[in-house]
Amino acid sequence: MPVGRRIVRAVEVKDSKLTFEAALARLESIVDAMEAGDVPLAELLAKFEEGSKLLKVCEARLKDAELKIEQLKRSKDGKPALEKFAVTNDE
């Protein structure tokens, strides 16, 4: 089995256990490797596939967090009591 396939299957098995932070860190390392431009095409495709799966993990973790926050902020009548907050760009 090619190395890229083993990596992707490892992500599939472990993705349910990955924290948001771990998935994001791995995704960032994949992007850095891809941007470096010295990755063979076959490995590049495997990294892209792994990155796509990690992105889904990150999105799922963020959605779960959003739902938990919404549940915690429900008003007494059971309706969502969402509050707007300022988003800052640290870059």
- Name the one residue in this structure whose structure tokens are 């850095």: 32
Task: Name the more confident of 74 and 49.
Answer: 49
Of the two residues 30 and 79, the one the predictor is more confident about is 30
The helix/strand/coil state of 74 is strand
CATH class entry, domain 3-72? mainly alpha
Distance CA 16, CA 60 (A): 10
pTM comes to 0.62
| DSSP per-residue string spanning 30-65 | HHHHHHHS-S-HHHHHHHHHHHHHHHHHHHHHHHHH
pLDDT tens by residue, 31-64:
999 898 888 999 999 999 999 999 999 999 999 9
